[in-house]
Amino acid sequence: MGRGGQRNEYPVLLQHIPDFRQGGVTLKYVKRGYHVLCTHAVKLLLLPVAATVMLELANMLKTGQLQEMWVVASQTHLQFNMVVFMGCCLLLAVMAVTYVLTRTKPVYLMNYHCYKAPDSLMMSRDRFRDLSIKSQMFNEQSLEFQEKIMQRSGLGDETYLPEAVQQIPPQISMAAAREEAEMVLFDSVRHVLDAAHLKPGQIDILVVNCSLFNPTPSLSAMIINHFKMRSNVVSYNLAGMGCSAGVIAINLAKELLQVYPNSRALVVSTENITQNWYFGNERSMLIPNCLFRVGGAAMLLSNRRKDYWKAKYELLHVVRTHMGANDQRYGCVYQREDSQGRVGVHLSKELMAIAGHALKANITTLGPLVLPISEQLIFFANLVARKVFKMKIRGYIPDFKLAFEHFCIHTGGRGVIEEIEKQLQLAPESVQPSKDTLFRYGNTSSSSIWYVLSNIESTRGVRKGDRIWQIAFGSGFKCNSAVWRSMRNNNQVHEAWTETPKTAEP
């Protein structure tokens, strides 16, 4: 086709491209440029000063004034003092530059909100069994298997499932999945912005994570469109990273806040149930049906110095461990088709053992950052005794209760929580908030650690200075930790826990 044909091939697209050379400049873009100028004003002012100093020194060197100063210093016995003075000045300058270039900006958690679904979506264990039977998708063996899993799962009778899954027959579609996502995301974001008295246009960074539902446009674009955020908001959409993606999203926001000064970041974590419900009969792929439930959380972060006085928590550490180089660990949580072509998430029988290895690797890195020196010395002595002197003694497990006052364990299932309790030798009261969250909301994937924290705040309270350890596992296989320090007393009763919380069996 010739040039003429090409010119007429896409008339609809071409006729709607505006001529940016016509018309005036919108005021809001001028304001954004002015904001950037003010943010970097100090750096911009220092540049001409530094350039002027350098040019003056170069001119003094060229005209011989520096040599004359040196000769005068040597004749008046001030040469040594001048060398010391110049050396000290140079050292101070290097130290100042190093500090400015290497310092990390503090990252504060201003507020967060955990989504609570309407009562119409509540799913008891009996109703779950009845819907599974009425759907006519499962054979008798699969129904019996799901019943056994539900009895051992640790879930109560007040978890939530999306409307499309609860219909008979199930009405699974892209539209229904979008409706679930909008319901969770919009409500969570609106609440956290309202609590902070912020407008959507005041958000500088947006990070959204959802593992199994990733439409086009993305979920982050969905939020930007609904709340009419700025066109220069820095947005990211994380996908396929499993239940530990909430910590990964926090880590990404933290890294971005090191680059963008005086900024606010909004992190939104969720999982979509509608399009990922498994309607087959393979046992390893039926387990997620019994555990995963509707949920989501929105977190507001800031690196603004003046937000120090309003912040709830300060982020101290993020430690990420990825075991994906090993094939068995990589495939222990794997989305695939069964023999009938039905898509689901396969959970390997070795999952708990792999989670244990990932936990061990993660705390090996985390330990030196948070444990008191006494615990580190005992651990090191035990390691030397076993590895160097070949002494047959048990490995020493550091007492993490000396490093943290609160533990937010991912609610991957009763077995996951109890395994961490056993591995870390935690007291039953340390893991009870995680069990209560699993009982009330089920496995809400990447947002579950925030439901646990909201439970602790609502039922026990968090005192100023308390340290919180959020730990989550995800496909790949990953184990990720986030450590927070409370900036004030936090005993807010969250919407997710306004009714009297029902306690799971210890």
Tokens of 299: 């977190």
> Are the CB atoms for 430 and 401 separated by under 8 Å?
yes
- The Cα–Cα gap between 428 and 441 comes to 20
Tokens of 337: 């088709």
- The Cα–Cα gap between 89 and 137 comes to 78
In three-state secondary structure terms, 203 is coil
Please report which residue ranges of 109-259 form alpha helices under DSSP H.
Answer: 125-134, 140-153, 163-166, 174-196, 219-227, 245-259
User: Phi and psi dihedrals of 380, rounded to 5?
Assistant: -65, -40
Q: Annotated catalytic sites, by residue? A: 243, 322, 406, 410, 443
Q: Which of 293, 280, 305, 259 is nearest to 411 (CA)?
A: 293
Nearest 5°: the CA angle 246, 128, 148 is 85
> Are the CB atoms for 112 and 249 separated by under 8 Å?
no
Largest CA distance in the chain: 103
- The Cα–Cα gap between 460 and 452 comes to 11
> Are the CB atoms for 302 and 110 separated by under 8 Å?
yes
* Strand locations in 386-476 (E): 406-409, 467-474
Tokens of 439: 């009982």
Peptide bond into 477 cis (omega under 30): yes
- The Cα–Cα gap between 150 and 474 comes to 21
What's the Rg (C-alpha) of the chain?
29
Place of tokens 């005794």: 385
In three-state secondary structure terms, 503 is coil
> Are the CB atoms for 364 and 479 separated by under 8 Å?
no
Q: Write the DSSP symbol of residue 275.
A: G
- The Cα–Cα gap between 26 and 73 comes to 61
Helices and strands (H and E) in the chain: how many? 19, 13
DSSP secondary structure string for all residues of 394-409: PPP---GGGT-SEEEE
Which residues, in sequence order, are bridge partners of residue 252? none
Q: How far is CA 443 from CA 102, 199, 394, 437, in A?
A: 39, 31, 34, 8
> Are the CB atoms for 467 and 458 separated by under 8 Å?
no
Q: Write the DSSP symbol of residue 443.
A: B
